[in-house]
Structure 1
Amino acid sequence: MVVSCDAVTVSRAGVTWLPPVSWQLQPGEHWVIRGDNGAGKTTLLRVIAGKLTPTHGHVAYAFVTEHDWEARYRQVRAHVVYLPAHAFAVGQSSLYYQQRYYATGNEDVPTVESFLGDLVEAVRRLGHDHFDLTPLLPLKVTYLSNGQLRKLILLRALAAQPHLLLLDYPYEGLDEPSRADLNRLLEGVVAASQTQLVLTDHHHHLPSFINRTLVLDKPSGTTPPQSNGVLPPVAVAGAPIVKLTDIRLQYGEKILLAGFHWTIRQGEKWVLMGPNGSGKSTILALLNADSPQGYHNQVELFGRPRGTGESIWDIKRRINFLAPELLTYGYANTPRNQPVAAFLQQRTLAVHTEPVAEARWQAMLAWFGLEALWRQTMASVSTGQFQVLLLIKAFAVPRDLYILDEPFQYLDPTHKQQAFRFVQHYLPAEAALILVSHYHHDVPDYVTLWKRIGYESENPPQPH
């Protein structure tokens, strides 16, 4: 036995986070934990990592020999590395999601080299065939794409050679080649070391060494998602609201994108696809008035060219924006004791600024079967449920343009299908939609226009 959980449960303020779980990790085993959003997958990983004390039950480790609580915790930390889904703020809780686009805002942000410290060479060796570290070393971590940062943090965790590595949703945010690279990297590390893996996942192709599955049931008393309402009529494309002409994106000597054209009209529904690091997030930053590169490119938003005296807040008031950065930094900076109702009603320029009626919030929560969250605190919200809350906030107030960057991350299949219908139901008929995804199965049928960057062919035929 390496790790043993004996009737472990976690509950706080009368809310069950993890129903009773009895489970053992034996030598040579590598597990995937599955289950619906809110079933307790992340909670179980935190318990195993020693970061959360169970309400009832006991966790035992073969490598823990001390009896003093602090000494035991130090031994657990020496042998167990936990990489949470929201690990990408790299300890910089003061970061904000636009920070990568402003030179003066990055003075206190570490470079990749300083972030890795003494592990640079170890990470370089681990990623030799799968991750080109050298050109990234002088960059600030805020300049990395979501996928690049995820791989970097994972490699750093592996470089520490832990006995047990706990990964919470490690595949979210990675394109198909990067997921395959990650599997090959993990398979190589496991074959060459004694590291055992336990990871959470919903539906991705897993490494070949995963040989055990644990499925957690959702706590009793939860409400299933609802099927709601009549879907809105399909809109006919109208006037252009976005026009990008001959766009060139460059950071120093690095040219990220050149000769890029894109026109988006009212009522159109687009998917934007491209490999990690291809420039998708930077294009979205042009549209959301976050990137200064909009001033020296031909960018026209809502019928007006950038740099003609317009206010960025006038632009943002017409856009609802959801991105992985909001999930990462929002999760890191949201007080655990904040009521969910207060989190939803909290006005932020990133999502909504007008007051929203409580009945609308309740109806949107009920769509996903999460109306009970209204009376709970953010501490009881799971990773997938937090993603749902951000999606709800993005549709609280009608806008002209909706930019959803990987909005279905961390969602189980049932909630993902509900999210597809939620977006279609609450999207105004005349509004335009831009959906960013790495996965074809994350693109609803009603999204019919495709824009691909970073591939040999910019606009290949639409996948079936």
Structure 2
Amino acid sequence: MNITHYTILIDSKSKTDGFVEDLLNNSYTSSFEQLRGKKGLVFSSAQLAHFLDEEEKHGLKIITAQTEQSLLSMSSGERKKALLEYLLRNSPDYLILVNPYDNLDRSHQSNLKQKLLGISKSKILIQIIGRKEDILSLNSKYAKLEVDKLIWFNSQKDFLESNTLSKTNFSQYAIPHPLKPIKSSIKQLVKFNDVSVAFNNKPIITNINWTINSGEFWQLKGPNGSGKTTLLSMITGDNQKGYGQDLYLFGNKKGSGESVWDIKKHIGYFTPALTDKFRGYHSLENMLISGLHDSIGLYVQPTENEKMLAVKWLRLLNMEAKSDSYFHQLATAEKRLLMTARAMIKHPPLLLLDEPTSGLDDYNASLFVSLVNKIAKESKTAIIFVSHREEKGLEPSSIFELIPTKNGAISKIH
């Protein structure tokens, strides 16, 4: 069977959701004639989020109805496998794949790619991709979605050459100094001494030794389910498994009387899911200033010094002209830059960045990496950068890798 597939490159300005809806409704009949009258289904993080929400809020096990395991208890790789199997049981004629490899480690990415290559022999695949390295080599038509308009290319060669990534360097402005530096003489921020964690008698991490000192730049890596989230939750004080361990956080042994707030005041934190908490009409200036008050939204009258600091950060991010715009109006990549600035505005001793480039296109991932490198060079803040991808241009001073074993993940430092 000779099947023609489609590869669509997207960026932060692409109106992807509307495009997908139009595809499903056959609104692109001239460009996608072979889809007319056919049944399409969507494989995306948004679809997974919908099913997770149904399970969490209403107890509806939709895509895992045939198993005892819940979607909530699965790893990222298991969830995507379950979603794909569910879609295939519903016998679509074509699948729309929206950034299908996000949040997957290399092994799960490879497995999913092989599975999709097999599916491509009998079903039409529409790849909607932000990263060129994710593109499957198929008999395909190529286009780029510029806002809501498709730009078609005559060949894969023309497509790739037209979308070459130019080097991204961040603003010439320096990282703004904090208004009130967090007073701390602690050089050794975090120390794990032979820390082991198990859940329901299943070992997660084993004999972990890791010391994070002031100003260091670490990349935390490891496959899905290797214990990265467990380590982060112990550092933030949210994991009860930290009690009784030889674990030191910002000068105090875990369980010595410190509160979770005592720990969190030393930490700036960003993960893409945080952006969902800010649903109100928050100006960019107020969003940044709220980071000084650790609030979701700004509920006090900002001082002139606070406003000036916010302006400096907006200038650095090249968003000064948008200072009065609302946060929800920003593109995804802009939201992440702003939220990272918000996490850094007080120059915390430690900055945690959990999968911050997930879902970004090549250009904006490169821009984000450039900002992180700049923070590392121009501040005394230690950084832990968590990502499944090997982000080009990232300049960590050290890499902490978790390696799964049957007795729990062990660690290796590069």
Q: TM-score, normalised by structure 1?
A: 0.68
Q: Aligned partners of 1:343, 1:158: CA distance in 2, in Å? A: 46
**1:81 paired to 2:41:** yes
Q: After superposition, give the CA deviation of every residue in 1:185-215 in whole Å (9 maximum; x if it has no partner).
A: 1111222x33432322223242222623212
Correspondent of 1:439 among 373, 389, 392: 389
Contact 1:109–1:142 at 8 Å: present in 2 too?
no
**1:414 paired to 2:344:** no
**1:207 paired to 2:136:** yes
Q: Secondary structure at the match of 2:117?
A: helix
Per the TM alignment, residue 403 of structure 1 is displaced from its structure 2 partner at its CA by: 0.9
Q: After superposition, give the CA deviation of every residue in 1:14-41 in whole Å (9 maximum; x if it has no partner).
A: xxxxxxxxxxxxx933222224322434
What is residue 306 of structure 1 aligned with on the other side? 254
Correspondent of 2:13 among 22, 35, 38: 38
Distance 1:210 1:228, change over 3 A: farther
Per the TM alignment, residue 150 of structure 1 is displaced from its structure 2 partner at its CA by: 3.7
Contact 1:400–1:432 at 8 Å: present in 2 too?
yes
Q: After superposition, give the CA deviation of every residue in 1:253-310 in whole Å (9 maximum; x if it has no partner).
A: 3211111111111111111110111010111011011111111322210011111221
What is residue 29 of structure 1 aligned with on the other side? 4
Q: Aligned partners of 1:94, 1:347: CA distance in 2, in Å? A: 32
**1:344 paired to 2:344:** no
Q: After superposition, give the CA deviation of every residue in 1:20-68 in whole Å (9 maximum; x if it has no partner).
A: xxxxxxx9332222243224344423443459x99xx999877667xxx
**1:295 paired to 2:267:** no
Q: After superposition, give the CA deviation of every residue in 1:415-446 in whole Å (9 maximum; x if it has no partner).
A: 3333233224345633211111222335622x
Q: Aligned partners of 1:350, 1:404: CA distance in 2, in Å? A: 20
What is residue 266 of structure 2 aligned with on the other side? 318
Contact 1:249–1:255 at 8 Å: present in 2 too?
yes
Contact 1:403–1:434 at 8 Å: present in 2 too?
yes
Q: Aligned partners of 2:293, 2:93: CA distance in 1, in Å? A: 40
What is residue 13 of structure 1 aligned with on the other side? none
**1:459 paired to 2:404:** no
Q: Secondary structure at the match of 1:143?
A: coil
Q: Aligned partners of 1:291, 1:443: CA distance in 2, in Å? A: 32
Q: Secondary structure at the match of 1:410?
A: coil
Q: Aligned partners of 1:203, 1:424: CA distance in 2, in Å? A: 23
Contact 2:94–2:126 at 8 Å: present in 1 too?
yes
| Count of matched residue pairs | 377
What is residue 172 of structure 1 aligned with on the other side? 102
What is residue 102 of structure 1 aligned with on the other side? none
Per the TM alignment, residue 175 of structure 1 is displaced from its structure 2 partner at its CA by: 1.2
Correspondent of 1:184 among 96, 114, 120: 114
Q: Aligned partners of 2:282, 2:30: CA distance in 1, in Å? A: 30
Distance 1:228 1:281, change over 3 A: same
Q: Aligned partners of 1:338, 1:154: CA distance in 2, in Å? A: 36
Contact 1:243–1:300 at 8 Å: present in 2 too?
yes
Q: What amino acid maps onto 1:37 in structure 2?
A: S
What is residue 23 of structure 2 aligned with on the other side? 48
**1:116 paired to 2:63:** yes
Q: Aligned partners of 2:124, 2:98: CA distance in 1, in Å? A: 16
| Consecutive unaligned residues in structure 1, runs of 5 or more | 1-26, 66-75, 96-105, 121-136
Map 1:125-164 → 2, pairs under 5 A: 137-164=67-94
What is residue 181 of structure 2 aligned with on the other side? none
Distance 1:241 1:64, change over 3 A: same
RMSD: 4.1
Higher alpha-carbon deviation: 173-182 or 289-298: 289-298
Q: Secondary structure at the match of 2:391?
A: helix
Contact 2:174–2:316 at 8 Å: present in 1 too?
no
Q: Aligned partners of 2:188, 2:309: CA distance in 1, in Å? A: 30
Q: Aligned partners of 1:91, 1:44: CA distance in 2, in Å? A: 21
Distance 1:452 1:443, change over 3 A: farther
Q: TM-score, normalised by structure 2?
A: 0.75
